[in-house]
């Protein structure tokens, strides 16, 4: 499922759209924005990127911890594979 570039981009983008729709309608607090940014950047996105790279056979099961290496910047080594599906 994560081999499809369209599915990957939808999974990555939809939480941002939903959060901002909720944030604009209900409460524009800076704390909510900061918490969402931290959870999205350091928890959600590394996990999604890991499963995308696993689907493309670029990482193994034992490489999950690498997604948080260098404060999450390790995944940028695979930028073209993540964005365009190229190996």
68, 46 contact by CB (below 8 A): yes
Look up the pTM and report it.
0.86
36 CB burial (10 A radius; 0-12, 13-18, 19+): middle
- Output the pLDDT for position 36: 93
What is the reported pLDDT for 2?
80
Question: What string of pLDDT tens digits covers the 87 residues of the chain?
Answer: 788 999 999 999 999 999 999 999 987 889 989 999 999 999 999 999 999 999 999 999 998 888 887 776 788 889 899 999 876
- Contact yes or no for 43/68 (Cβ under 8 A): no
């Amino acid at each position: 499922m994560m081999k499809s570039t369209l599915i990957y981009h939808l999974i990555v983008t939809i939480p941002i759209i939903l959060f901002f729709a909720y944030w604009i309608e209900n409460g524009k607090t800076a704390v909510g924005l900061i918490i969402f940014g931290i959870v999205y950047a350091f928890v959600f996105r590394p996990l999604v990127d890991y499963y995308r790279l696993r689907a493309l056979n670029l990482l193994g099961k034992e490489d999950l911890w690498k997604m948080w290496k260098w404060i999450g910047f390790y995944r940028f080594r695979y930028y073209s594979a993540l964005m365009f599906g190229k190996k």
